[in-house]
Amino acid sequence: MGPGVRRDDSREAGATHGKGGPLMELKSAIVGLLSMSVRLDRMARFSQERIARFIRGISVRQIRLACGLVLFAYLVSHFLNHALGNISMDALAAGVYYHMAFWQFVPVAIAFYTAALVHAGLGIWALYERRQFRWKAIEPLQLVLGLSIPALIITHVVGVRLGHTLFGHEKLYPQVFFAYWIVWPYKMWLIFAVLTISWIHGCIGLYFWLRMKAFFERAAPFLLGAAVLVPTLAMLGLYQGGRSVVDSDSVKWRTENLSPRQVGTPAEQAVLNNIEDYFLIGYLGLIGFVLLAKGVRALNERRGGMITLSYGNGRTVRVPKGLSVLEASLRYNVPHASVCGGRARCSTCRIRVIGDCTSLPEPSKREAFVLNRVGAGSDPAIRLACQLRPEADLSFFQIFLPQITAASLRTSSPSRIGEERYLVSMFVDMRGSTKLAEKRLPFDTVFIVNRFLGAVSQAVIECGGRPNQFVGDGQLALFGLATSPQTACRQALKAAAMIAANVDELNESLRHDLREPIRFGIGIHGGEVIIGDIGYRDHMVFTALGDAVNVAARLQDMTKNLACEAIVSEEVRVTAGLSSDDLPQQEVAIRGRAEPMMIRTVTDAKALSALVDDVHVVAA
């Protein structure tokens, strides 16, 4: 009877298990769907925020830059086409066919002509708007060269492009070379001047845009080589093509290449010449009008009154109303950090206003965008000197040292001057180091602590993180400086598992020197933080500040009371994609926070590696 009873029990147990299996699977599926829904919702909100932030960040300078890139792409294409003249006239003809096929494709043509008109218009606006220049030579040079291009290129544009549009002329390289090398030889030098001026103007713009990029220092030699080689080959190609036409000039050649269908009739040419003359008169008149308007504005500003700017270090200047703080600094040779030259592309000219801020004009969209990017948008006392145009006396102090340069920004990356981003913070602390030091020589204690921090740092680096701060026998590590939030959370969890494995190996290697194994505690939390250089003068360190960092430190402290090796916040668990059943859940109060927080305790940190691997397998 006993065995029979056991068989019945086993059947009953099996039946219970059979009922529980589908229920558990259904529960897991529901939890998985909910977790996926949360992640998708978060991704949607994140995408909307990024789009909104991108739109807010668009300013006149960004539009001018985008249009300039389109024009520079056309310039490169045209120059490469010219370079084919070093091969033969047939190569030039083949190249111009593909060049025209692309740039006369309707959507591309619309983008090109729109970019040309907008870029030229914004250049004229820059002439009126700009009061002071950050660099005494290169910025005015770029502006003057850019404004001279329409006047120099109009002959070529009217003769070739407008002639084709109005009268169907088919002026290609042979006809242009004949006009510039034989009929009007001086125009040969004019076209070389246009090539040189337009190329230099474009390269200066590219330099201002790229010089703060992290890759610029490595790419600079190659960019310089291209900047020299491309126009040189283009001008040599034009010279070779022109010489070929001069050598081929004959009655027969002129009959084949200079028909009215190709170069037009004298009456048509007279119309084109009139258009060219009217354009030059109108364009030069517009430039003169802008210069006159600048003079009138300067007089009105002086009549409108003067204001006093106090720099907080005892220096004061009197300037007319309407000048930005940065323009005032440049006018009176007051050193002021401004890596981008007052284009609102960086935040190095930031100032902190002293006193009442209510009378200040509201930040522009571009200024608000930049300030929000560096986490200063909520503080009305923080403003960009290049954008703030005070109407009353103002006292302030500069936040950055005037000596900051683009080179220093490239070396340290843009985030070192202050940036808000999602990071995962990990605090690791060695347990019992005080007790360890009581019975050892100081050098022995330092040796063991360094071995422990080395084991932690090795795991952090191998998993894609960055050791950031060392405080006694503890370490702050950051994940997500160059990865997505999900990847950063998984990297941090893998690093925690590897730290546990490395500490086990360390305990084994030091087993003869340790009375008891080294123990540790880990706290992991993710969220928005401010990263940048913190400190004073030569004592600056790169670190992260924010609630997420503080919470990670609090979680690490809790591992002592909760008797576990690691504590992971629910934020990190969800973002990493771990199942809700993987780790035990607990609600705790965090010192400094009003509301309790959901956490996950990890008794053995090495188990986290398998959990993260399971997530990768499921995702695959």
Q: If DSSP codes are grouped into helix, strand and coil, which group holds residue 324?
A: coil
Q: Is 480 left (phi over 0), alpha (psi -120 to 50) or beta?
A: left
pLDDT in tens, 229-252: 999 999 999 999 999 999 999 999
How many Å apart are CA 583 and CA 576, to the nearest integer?
13
pLDDT in tens, 56-73: 656 677 888 899 999 999
pLDDT in tens, 375-406: 777 788 889 988 898 988 899 888 776 655 54
Answer for the pair 583, 568: CB distance below 8 angstroms, yes or no.
Answer: yes
- Is residue 227 over pLDDT 90? yes
User: Measuring CA to CA, which residue among 135, 177, 141, 137 is closest to residue 156?
Assistant: 177
- Higher per-residue pLDDT: 123 or 49: 123
How many Å apart are CA 348 and CA 550, to the nearest integer?
27
Q: Which helix (H) or strand (E) holds 533?
A: strand 519-536
The percentage of the chain sitting over the pLDDT mark of 70, rounded to a whole number, equals: 82
pLDDT in tens, 148-160: 999 999 988 998 9
- The pTM for the full model equals 0.56
pLDDT category, 449, cuts 50, 70, 90? confident
Mean pLDDT on 512-516: 78
CA distances to 316, 350, 360, 385, 426 from 382, rounded to whole Å, are 19, 7, 11, 9, 31
Residue 403 CB neighbours (<10 A): 8
Cβ-proximal residues to 488 (8 Å cutoff; 6+ apart), any chain: 422, 423, 424, 479, 480, 526
Answer for the pair 338, 349: CB distance below 8 angstroms, yes or no.
Answer: yes
pLDDT in tens, 551-570: 999 999 999 889 899 999 99
- pLDDT for 139: 77
- pLDDT for 67: 94
- pLDDT for 596: 87
Enumerate domains of the chain plus CATH numbers.
56-300 (1.20.1300), 306-407 (3.10.20.30), 418-619 (3.30.70.1230)
pLDDT in tens, 27-60: 666 766 666 665 666 555 556 656 665 666 566 7
Q: Which helix (H) or strand (E) holds 522?
A: strand 519-536
